[in-house]
Structure 1
Amino acid sequence: MKGKILGAGAISGDDGKRYYYEENELKNAKEGQNIEGLEVDFEVIDGKAVGVFILNKPSFSSNFSSLNASFNASMTNLPNIDTKFVFLDFNAVKNFIFAPNIHSMKFFALLTLICYLITNLLAKSFVYGGGASAAFFYIFGILSLVLGLWVNYLLFQTSSDKKPLVYFISCVIVVAVMGILLKTLADSLMMSMFGGRLPYFKLTLIVLLFIAYAVLILLWYIRVGKITNEKFFMYSLYAQLASYACLIIMIIMLLCREEFGIWYDFAVICAIASSALLAVAWLKFREIHTIN
């Protein structure tokens, strides 16, 4: 099949579809050559472009722009390098945004995890006092949300499967409603500690929302695991479910006016393990499958 290079890692085929390729599949590119817009011949295997050969010779302006890289880096490519060093390619930054691929997905997924972990570390400061910690809590919380949406959008673009994106957005809505309820629940629980009645209705509603959230997370992990064919997503899911089980036990003990003690520690350990396994999953996966 013939097509035209959109940028590093992406080709627009004659059939109107977009195909992605690894750097080592570009067979006859020269060092410092600007490959954008060049016509290529390639084969398609499992939805990916392989054996990519440049057909037309680079123009004088293309060569000149390559020599002028130090003055206009955004218009040229660095020399072709191994895919593990793709983040050194300045031109690839543009493709992180406009041409979704596995490399950009890994980058933004890990950035999302970092922001999410920072948000959790700041959560305690946010609960017990305002100030700078509360401000940073909101900043990193919103940033992790936006990045999470972008990662799932990239997954949708590369796999044509919208389910992970739908599950993620649904989770965000459920968490937002739970957050509103938890704010009103905090005051009610404080009153119950001084002899008032426990807010059973609010607690029940939060438990139901939490179950809905857990189901959506379960569906997201299963779907992403199938799309990427990476087993570590499922390992992360198991640790996440163990954390949720500890939280449910804590809620039950709270309703019975008992201290939950060690169950909180178990929940934290499982949550940390889940995040670590999720990071490994994003780092390890190498392919995207289209699932009907």
Structure 2
Amino acid sequence: MNVIGDMKAGEIAARAKFSLRGPEEEFDPRTTAHRGDLADIALAGKLFAPHYAETMPMRCAAPKAMLRKQGGKNYEAVSELLHGEDFHLLDVVGDWAWGYCDHDGYVGYLPVHALQHQRKTPQPTHLISARAALIFIAPDIKSGVIKRLPMGARLACGEASECGQFLQTGKGYVHIRHIQEIGAKRVFDGANNTVSFAEQLVGAPYLWGGRSGDGLDGAGLIQMILGLTGEKAPRDADQQLKTIGSEISDDEDLRRGDFIFFPDNVGIMADDEHIIHANTHWMQVVIEPLAKVIARYGEDVKQPVLARKRSG
């Protein structure tokens, strides 16, 4: 399949409708579907490309799939698409699909076999709110397991089982304690929901580009836990620094749920002294004193804390 070839009509229409006048606009390459030979048709008239293509609506059918800078397993991972999340496909080269994620606009390459056309998959209704969920063959914890889905994955659920403890999904069943409706806010005994989700991930391995319960990086952790509480966030820490919350004054004490931004990471406060973050020092998600994290930067880093921010 070559989407470039399939989209000639759209390209012609774009060229007829748009013309590039003056200098090209500046865009963040992480969230701009533009490469040397092809660009999203939405960029026609803004960025020059030899060809433009309309996107094809796809959905992740695998438990998760790494998004990479180039089409190949050896290239750097930049993010991750989770089961049930949508992807805007622009081109397919060999075994790799190029396009961008629907939830944050991040551009990259995915294994094409991880995707299905949206019309062939049901619209997700729920997402995994536990660290992971098992899909059982029958509505019984003693039955066989079909697959495992990580926190953040989305799935379409049907009617509840007779016992009321499972929802039917595709060819199997998921336990009701592992899911929540998309758009709903899960309550943890009145505690800060965002931090409570982060606490479930303590011990999860650090994974560059990861953003699931199976492995994640610092910004991936923040994006996921905010998403579970109904708040959209961009993918990377520098993007989150510009968009999340408001500045906390230097004379104000930190509290549970505050975000701390470092030169190379971001975390969320568990209380006024301890931070939860996915980091390369421990290579996992940990809770530790904020003072120890700051001390690890050493004297050569003049500003280890770039910002302290609070939501709401």
More strand by share: 2
Greater Cα radius of gyration, structure 1 or 2: 1
Superposition TM-score tier, normalisation by shorter sequence:
under 0.3
In the superposition, the TM-score normalised over structure 1's length comes to 0.24
More helix by share: 1
